[in-house]
A = this chain, B = another copy of it.
Amino acid sequence: MYKVVLDVMGGDFAPSQILRGADLALQEIPELELILVGREEVLKTYVGKPRVSVVFAEEVVEMDESPGDALRKKREASIFKGIELLKSKEAGAFVSAGNSGAVAAGSIFILGRIEGVRRPAIATLLPTVKEPFVLIDVGANVDSKPIDLFQFGIMGKVFLEKVWDRPNPKIALLSIGEESGKGNLLVKKAHQLFKNSNLNYVGNIESRDIYRGEVDVVVCDGFIGNICLKLSEGLAEVILEMLKNEVKKSVVSFLGLFMAKKAIDGFKKKADWREYGGAPLLGVKGNVIIAHGRSDALAIKNAIRVAVNTIKINLVEKLESAIKDNLIEEEKECA
């Protein structure tokens, strides 16, 4: 059995969608056991349910609360209680759609970092016209150093190889020109580290090309990755909105509208982040999956599936050895 802790209180649609996602996951994954963490009033009907245990946490970290404040003042909140259960080996992975800053800060503080990792990072899968790619970091860090970007590349590679079974992924640095001389100081320095490594590094990639599916891992600072992630979501929504308006304007026949709507919905499914489940926080000593704040039951179910996979393949151990293999020399160079 694989044991996953689920924060029932986190996310824009908590707790109802989170609980529905838990039910779906229990149905679909026979080898799953869940520990649900949340308010007693929310969880009392789950007491005694097969393959479920319940831990009460009355406090909740709000979505816009400062992670530092939350960590100081709300240590009994569902996020931190959940991470504590991971720390004490009650479970093999932790999933939350709550305040992602608090999940990251709590994980780093409670679980600690994998030896050699300077900055844990959030990796997310995004769709392309071919296979999905990993974007790392999408918001755990701002103002990263070149060595951080290099470590993000290693961790993104291991995640894609081990959890998603994509051997020897191509790694690229997000920059504003494909030529190695182009970019800001951070990218130029990180480029040197990648170039001198044994990784399958293919150089810079421009943002215009990341959805083309030619590259498997795209590395950037978390400020930029977060901007890319949210820009993509926002733009996709706006385009679909504009498109629907155009359809309404021009379609005189019901048939045309119906067909176009079918096309839009078909596309939306393909570009749907919920399909990929959550984004792991890589580099901490435990399998932590950050689900999207707007997660519905489907997204939560898929995040739990990713969590189970991280336990199955023992992701933390894999990351530990990859960092050890790749990093000793690089760290000396950059110290």
- On A, residues with C-beta under 8 Å from B are 64, 66, 128-129, 139, 142-143, 174-176, 179, 181, 183-185, 187, 206-212, 221-224, 226-228, 230-236, 238-239, 241-243, 246-247, 249-251, 253, 255-260, 262-264, 266-267, 270-271
Whether A250 touches B262, Cβ cut-off 8 Å, given contacts A183-B142, A185-B142, A223-B184, is: yes
A286 to chain B, nearest CB (A): 25
Asked whether, in the complex, the Cβ of A142 is within 8 Å of the Cβ of B184, the reply is yes
A209 to B233, CA, bound (A): 9
Given contacts A184-B221, A206-B230, A228-B228, 16 further A-B contacts (CB under 8 A): A129-B238, A175-B223, A176-B222, A207-B234, A208-B231, A208-B234, A211-B234, A223-B224, A224-B227, A235-B235, A239-B239, A239-B271, A246-B266, A251-B259, A255-B259, A256-B260
Whether A176 touches B223, Cβ cut-off 8 Å, given contacts A183-B142, A206-B230, is: yes
A176 to chain B, nearest CB (A): 4
Asked whether, in the complex, the Cβ of A231 is within 8 Å of the Cβ of B246, the reply is no
28 A-B residue pairs with Cβ-Cβ distance under 8 Å, sorted by A, are: A64-B179, A143-B184, A174-B227, A175-B223, A184-B221, A187-B223, A206-B234, A208-B231, A208-B233, A208-B234, A211-B238, A224-B227, A228-B228, A228-B231, A231-B231, A239-B267, A239-B271, A242-B270, A242-B271, A243-B243, A243-B263, A243-B267, A247-B263, A250-B262, A251-B262, A256-B258, A259-B259, A259-B260
Residues from chain B with a CB closer than 8 A to the CB of A206 are 230, 234
- Decide if the interface of chain A is mainly helix, strand, loop or mixed: helix
Residue of B nearest to A185 (CB): B143
Residues from chain B with a CB closer than 8 A to the CB of A181 are 66
